[in-house]
Structure 1
Amino acid sequence: MTNFESLVCFGFSPSMLFPKSFEDPLTHFSAIKLCCRCPGYETFETFLPENDLLRKACIREMKTYGKQLRYNTTGDFQVDGPYNPCSDNPEYRKQALDLVKMHIEFAAEAESPFIVVTGCPDKGEERRPELKKLYMEYFLQIAEYCRQYNMDILIEPIERHRFKKLLLGPTEECASFILDAQKAGAHNAHLMMDTAHLPLMGETIDHALKVSLPAGLLHVHMGDAVLNESSTFYGHTHPPVGVQGGLFDLDELTRQFIEMFNHGYIPKKPGRKRASISLEVKPYPGCSEITSIQLMYEKVKSACDSAAEQLGIY
């Protein structure tokens, strides 16, 4: 039978749904435990606690409820601090390498098929060639480290000219970076795409898909974006789908699914590998986290169903 579940492996981020997870490991564990009860979702997109007992408990909960992890690294590597992989301080670069290797080991422990990383802080056009060279050296090392666990490594394009201001921002540059890494032997290196980042980068989904697919697009985040400066969700804030002032609701999501079907990211028939898609979103204002994520499941599924109906897929 051809339906949403037969074509899409769908998940969400418990840590983003419960943002205090980024500050407190116990909150993170509680979020994962509670989210395991959410029906419909097959995967979780998050990192894991450094505390050995909590980490093993998180993994045990996910396995008990049949949730597979898609490992996402923390924001430590996105700021110019002690874990900047392209820092001017060689000790910080070493610390970044050690920290990301720890996360790779955690991802392997939970049997995640891939780990998502991002670029380092951008320091202006003049220093970009130097920083890209440093980042490539770092990236090739961690891609090789992933290979021993039969794990892919994905780069997530994030806006460079505003908000996060990371080195690897424009999707086309990220795709070029991945192709260069593959030529250098990192055959497990690929891309992911976040549809909510595209407006922040001034890109369309059609363009992002066209330039990503040749480098290997293995995962997609979905969400919303708000460009109204008076909104609390303005910028890179992971707003819930269809939030007031947001750019994406049911009609826009439907168009995104049409693009993903037409470009071949989502298969049109069961049997091929399903498309990996997840929500990386905060809850609706005034609404509980679990109610929010279940509402968004229905909204995203409805959008995919509508796209499939328009294209004659099912």
Structure 2
Amino acid sequence: MTNFQSRICFGFAPAMLFPKSFEDPYQHFAAIQTCCHNTPYESFETFLPEDESMRKLCIQSMQKNEIKLHYNAPGIFQIDGEFNPCSENPEYRKNALNLAKKHICYAAEAESPIIVFAACPDKGIKKRPELLKRFMEYFLELAELCRTYHMEITIEPIERHRFKKLILGPFKDCADFMLEAQKNGAANAHLMIDTAHLPLMEESLETAIKETQRAGLIHVHLGDAVLDPNSNFYGHTHPPIGVHGGTFDLKELTDQFVQLFECGYIPRTPGTQRAKISLEVRPYPGCDELTSIQLMYEKVKTACDLAAEKLEIY
């Protein structure tokens, strides 16, 4: 085990690497099966197929290859439709709650220690208090179900003022929401950071860490962002780290690891508790998926090692 592996349980998102997975359950199944053989990654960030036979085969493949699942709920809850947990339509809210609970049960089947949700669509400042009230009711019910499975639940902060336009949103608001959830009994609920969202949210990693630590930082996604409207990767697209026109490359990634060490999220000494960090990225243009994810493993490991050297950790 390397110094990197002794401190970090590192993973990636198969569905993001094979984007057709979001459109076709068979493509999603194939992506998980293909990625199971893509060592040295230790974990996957994904949801599981609703088809029982495909889901069980995915779980078997992950277990056989010693891959942990860090469950990410599908994006359907982020759309203003029949699975919007904050919809004006009570039937749609019921649909969202039932489907979210179903995915929590899938996560439990795979023995995932954590499940990641995002918030509902924002409808403007006037409707925000009512939507946040609905989302809190929904979230507390999900957190209670997760608790019965000894599972952590987290909210992924996503930009509110542009691109996806979800209600949770700014890191301060996310932390305030999570602290309120904890006061209402959700002791298993904490926050996470996705570095790819920071430029889209116009927030710094320093601010993100400061705010999330108020409610507990338990998970980190890594990625890049492109702010050039002429790029195919413009907006909320999860481009690969170091892509042309991107915001982050090795230097910036190293700085991110320095901050994650300094705040205590990544342990300075190896132990039983490792930091959960994963890539949520698409492949490099002109490069196949598996080569892309291997290249990014080396880039991330190098950045972590450089940060540790700078801080005289190892």
TM-score normalised per structure 2 = 0.99
Native 8 Å contact 1:194 1:222 kept in 2: yes
SS of 1:309's equivalent? helix
Aligned to 1:171: 171
Cα drift, residue 49 of structure 1: 0.4
Unaligned runs of 5+ in 2: none
**What is the rounded CA distance, in whole Å, between the counterparts of 2:109 and 2:282 in structure 1?**
27
- Give a deviation string over 1:178-235, Cα, whole Å, max 9, x none: 1100000010111111011011001100110011112111100001000011000000
How many pairs are equivalent? 314
Task: Answer yes or no: is 1:222 the counterpart of 2:186.
Answer: no
CA distance in 1, matches of 2:23, 2:52: 17
- SS of the counterpart of 2:173? helix
Distance 1:242 1:230 in 2: 17
**Contact conserved, 1:240 with 1:281, CA < 8 A, in 2?**
yes
State the alpha-carbon separation in 2 of the partners of residues 202 and 79 from structure 1: 22
2:236 maps to amino acid: H
Distance 2:143 2:62 in 1: 26
Runs of 4+ with >6 A deviation: none
What CA distance in whole angstroms lies between the structure 2 residues aligned with 1:279 and 1:256?
14
Gaps of 5+ in 1: none
What is residue 211 of structure 2 aligned with on the other side?
211
How far off is 1:272 after superposition? 5.0
Deviation of 1:38 after TM superposition, in Å, equals: 1.1
Partner residue of 1:101?
Answer: 101
Return the alpha-carbon distance in structure 2 between the equivalents of residues 19 and 47 of structure 1.
13
Matched, 1:307 2:307: yes
Aligned counterpart, 2:63: 63
Name the aligned partner's letter for residue 62 of structure 2.
M
SS in structure 2 opposite 1:11?
A: strand
Checking the alignment, whether the CA contact within 8 Å between 1:16 and 1:282 is kept in structure 2 is yes
1:40 Cα deviation after fit = 1.5
Q: Which amino acid counterpart does residue 278 of structure 1 have in structure 2? A: S
Q: Deviations over 1:48-107 (max 9, x none)?
A: 000000000100110010001000011111111000000000000000000000000000
Partner of 1:241 in structure 2? 241
SS at 2:226 equivalent: coil
SS at match of 2:150: coil
CA gap of 1:272–1:61, structure 2 versus 1, over 3 A, is closer
Q: State the distance in 2 between where 1:145 and 1:271 align.
A: 29
Quote the Cα distance in structure 1 between the aligned partners of 2:75 and 2:274: 28
Q: Which amino acid aligns with 2:213?
A: L
SS at match of 1:199: helix
Aligned to 2:157: 157
Aligned-residue offset at 1:25: 1.4
Report the Cα distance in structure 2 between the residues aligned to 1:189 and 1:255, rounded to whole angstroms.
28
Cα deviations by residue, 1:236-283 (Å, 9 ceiling, x for unpaired)? 000001000000000000000000011111111111511100000000
User: Given the two structures, how large is their TM-score scaled by the length of structure 1?
Assistant: 0.99
Superposition deviation, residue 26 in structure 1: 1.4
Q: Is the 8 A contact 1:2 1:270 kept in 2?
A: no
Counterpart in 2 of 1:19? 19
Whole-angstrom distance in 1 between the partners of 2:205 and 2:265? 12
Distance 1:253 1:304 in 2: 8
Residue in 2 that maps onto 1:112: 112
Q: Secondary structure at the match of 1:32?
A: helix
* 143-152 or 287-296, which deviates more: 143-152
Contact 1:12–1:45, Cα closer than 8 Å, also in 2? yes
Matched residues in 2 for 1:55 and 1:183: separation?
35
1:47 aligns with 2:47: yes
1:256 is the counterpart of 2:256: yes
Q: 2:188, 2:264 → 1: CA distance?
A: 20
Aligned partner of 2:182 in structure 1 is 182
Q: How far apart, CA to CA, are the structure 1 residues paired with 2:105 and 2:29?
A: 18
Equivalent position of 1:293 in the other structure:
293
Supply the RMSD in Å over aligned alpha carbons.
0.9
**Kept after mapping to 2: 8 A contact 1:25/1:54:** no
Q: Separation in 2 of the partners of 1:57 and 1:139?
A: 30
Identity %: 66
Question: 2:56 corresponds to which letter in structure 1?
Answer: K
Question: Residue in 2 aligned with 1:194?
Answer: 194
Q: Amino acid of the residue matched to residue 281 of structure 1?
A: V
Secondary structure of 2:107 counterpart: helix
Q: Which moved more, 1:26-35 or 1:247-256?
A: 26-35
Offset at residue 2 of structure 1 (A):
6.9
